């Protein structure tokens, strides 16, 4: 009897649940894709998919239903977008500006621009924007040169020493630049445990993202995963407290407008009245957004150049034409057009942020589709960048020349989104481009690199940034014709 009553109660609960969400089901019905099984939806399609180790597995989810398709993960509706036309509408709509909770939760932070929503996001975006104006970016150019040259010197120990993973050096380069350029904190990070800790925290973040039961704080906070994650970010948090303290002491008597343009000075400016937790989380998330993305993208660029030695030679020719071997000036940056095309093509083939998730806060029109409130839109940048409709039959090949202005004039503006677009577009995109260019010029004035990897065999994995499963294994030789 009790069993029958429980079943009836469950049935009534389910009917009520479906009734309350009837508009969502009605609209979802019209979005391409099957409905999956009752209650579980497409959960079974995820079995055997391995996004964490092979992002190409994610393509299987959308193959049949380009350019937009739905997936039901239990009662959550995901709408995956793989077209420039839909991306344009999506990223410019104010009805889906929010980062869904399940995607922000793995970072173990409440604040931080990348994961913030609503008023907090608006306020923090305004505060941080100050430090990303062109004149501020230009003032960082000496730092980009200094840190690039330091990395070149450190790499000397690897010359003619066979194959090694270059990503550790690049990580130290980018974290030092992020720390000094944004938080006025200058310390040596070569061989730092913090880099290893962040590296090992990433798969744990993916674990939380991909294990739906870890969405419940009650379960998560009692799990080994929780302890492991905090274990990996504790030292970074201690470092952040150290950074805040050092800068607070420096700014102690500084009321009103900040004296400098560092991000940290904006965050500490009393007029914004940010709590310690807000400042700490903002710095922590900013380090992940700025350091981690620059690090994996530069490592991927170097690996691609090590494999495509013909492209590397063209880049070297450009460097030799314009670089005198001292510093790359702001005025000279625009001269390195081929280098810029290499960076852009690398970010097309391996976009550092392969997906951008958004929560639909109000029912809205996504071109020919009506998207229900509470759906989760997944802007699948990785798939978009490989979509042959935009990039042609050679979409899967590494060809920097496709970014020649005349080759790009017919390509849809939203077919290429390494830094996303719209109101939440990457705040550091110009910083990232200037820094990458400066480093590559210094690097290829000094070294040549090779790799035994084959391009077709490289496996992109989501960590949650896009990394190469085979690692960034290269060998280094010093260029013979370097003009000192």
Report how far residue 353's alpha carbon sits from residue 462's, in angstroms, rounded to the nearest whole number: 9
What's the residue count for the chain? Answer: 484
Q: Which residues contact 303 (CB under 8 A, 6 or more apart)?
A: 166, 451, 453, 458, 468, 472, 473, 474
With beta carbons less than 8 A apart as the criterion, state whether 248 and 184 touch: no
Which range in 47-55, 329-337, 345-353, 444-452 contacts ligand HEM by CB under 6 A? Answer: 345-353
- Minimum gap (Å) between residue 431 Cβ and ligand HEM: 5
306 binds ligand HEM (CB under 6 A): no
- Minimum gap (Å) between residue 306 Cβ and ligand HEM: 18
| Interface with ligand HEM (CB under 6 A), residue from 82, 87, 141, 294 | 294
352 binds ligand HEM (CB under 6 A): yes
Nearest to 399 by CA among 472, 444, 348, 335: 348
Provide DSSP, 235-282: HHHHHHHHHHHHHHHHHTT--SS-SS--HHHHHH-GGG---HHHHHHH
Place of tokens 């993208």: 297
- Minimum gap (Å) between residue 244 Cβ and ligand HEM: 18
286 binds ligand HEM (CB under 6 A): yes
Bridge-based pairing state of the strands 447-450 and 460-462: unpaired
Site for ligand HEM in 175-214 (CB under 6 A): none
| Interface with ligand HEM (CB under 6 A), residue from 104, 297, 434, 463 | 297
Nearer Cβ to ligand HEM, position 303 or 353?
353
User: Nearest residue to ligand HEM, using CB?
Assistant: 428
293 binds ligand HEM (CB under 6 A): yes
151 is in an annotated binding site: no
- Minimum gap (Å) between residue 417 Cβ and ligand HEM: 7
Structure tokens at 342: 């290499």
418 binds ligand HEM (CB under 6 A): yes
288 binds ligand HEM (CB under 6 A): no
Report how far residue 461's alpha carbon sits from residue 229's, in angstroms, rounded to the nearest whole number: 20
| Interface with ligand HEM (CB under 6 A), residue from 314, 424, 430, 471 | 424
| Interface with ligand HEM (CB under 6 A), residue from 27, 80, 90, 114 | 114
420 binds ligand HEM (CB under 6 A): yes
Structure tokens at 196: 């290893």
Nearer Cβ to ligand HEM, position 347 or 462?
347
Provide DSSP, 364-420: EEETTEEEPTT-EEEEEHHHHHT-HHHH-TTTTS--GGGGSHHHHTTS-GGG--TT-
106 binds ligand HEM (CB under 6 A): no
Site for ligand HEM in 356-375 (CB under 6 A): 356
Rg over CA atoms, the chain: 24
Interface with ligand HEM (CB under 6 A):
99, 113-114, 125, 286, 289-290, 293-294, 297, 347, 352-353, 356, 418-420, 424, 426-428, 431-432
Could you tell me which residues are annotated as the binding site for heme?
A: 426
Could you tell me which residues are annotated as the binding site?
A: 426
């Amino acid at each position: 009897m009790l069993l029958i009553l429980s079943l009836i109660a469950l049935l009534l609960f389910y009917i009520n649940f479906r009734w309350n969400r009837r508009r969502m089901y009605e609209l979802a019905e019209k979005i391409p894709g099957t409905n999956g099984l009752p209650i579980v939806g497409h959960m079974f399609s995820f079995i055997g998919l391995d996004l964490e180790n092979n992002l190409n597995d994610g393509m299987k989810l959308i193959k049949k239903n380009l350019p937009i398709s739905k997936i039901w993960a239990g009662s959550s509706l995901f709408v995956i977008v793989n077209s420039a036309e839909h991306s344009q509408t999506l990223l410019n709509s104010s009805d889906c500006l929010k980062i869904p909770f399940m995607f922000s939760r793995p970072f173990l932070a409440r604040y931080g621009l990348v994961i913030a929503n609503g008023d907090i996001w608006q306020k923090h975006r305004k505060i941080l924007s100050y430090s990303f104006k062109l004149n501020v970016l230009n003032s960082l150019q000496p730092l980009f040169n200094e840190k690039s040259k330091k990395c070149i010197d450190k790499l000397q120990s690897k010359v003619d020493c066979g194959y090694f993973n270059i990503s550790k050096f690049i990580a130290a380069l980018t974290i030092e630049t992020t720390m000094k350029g944004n938080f006025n904190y200058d310390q040596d990070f070569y061989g730092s445990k913090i880099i290893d800790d962040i590296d090992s925290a990433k798969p744990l973040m993916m674990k939380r993202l991909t294990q739906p039961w870890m969405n419940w704080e009650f379960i998560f906070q009692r799990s080994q995963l929780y302890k492991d994650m905090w274990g990996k970010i504790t030292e970074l948090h201690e470092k952040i407290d150290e950074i805040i303290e050092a800068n607070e002491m420096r700014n102690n008597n500084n009321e009103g407008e900040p004296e400098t343009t560092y991000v940290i000075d904006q965050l500490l400016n009393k007029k914004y009245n940010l709590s310690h937790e807000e400042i700490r989380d903002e710095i922590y998330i900013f380090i992940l957004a700025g350091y981690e993305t620059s690090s994996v993208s530069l490592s991927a660029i170097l690996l691609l150049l090590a494999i495509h030695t013909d492209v590397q030679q063209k880049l070297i020719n450009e460097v030799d034409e314009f670089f005198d071997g001292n510093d790359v000036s702001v005025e000279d940056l625009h001269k390195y057009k081929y280098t810029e095309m290499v960076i852009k093509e690398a970010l097309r083939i391996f976009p550092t942020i392969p997906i951008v998730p958004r929560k639909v806060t109000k029912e809205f029109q996504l071109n020919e589709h009506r998207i229900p409130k509470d759906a989760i839109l997944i802007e699948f940048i990785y798939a978009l960048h490989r979509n042959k409709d935009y990039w042609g039959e050679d979409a899967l090949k590494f060809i920097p020349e496709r970014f020649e202005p005349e080759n790009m004039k017919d390509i849809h503006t939203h077919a290429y989104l390494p830094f996303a677009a719209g109101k939440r577009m990457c705040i550091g995109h110009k910083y990232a481009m200037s820094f990458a260019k400066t480093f590559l010029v210094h690097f290829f004035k000094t070294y040549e690199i090779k790799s035994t990897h084959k391009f077709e065999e490289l496996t992109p994995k989501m960590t949650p940034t896009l990394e190469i499963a085979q690692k960034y294994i290269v060998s280094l030789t010093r260029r013979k014709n370097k003009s000192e």
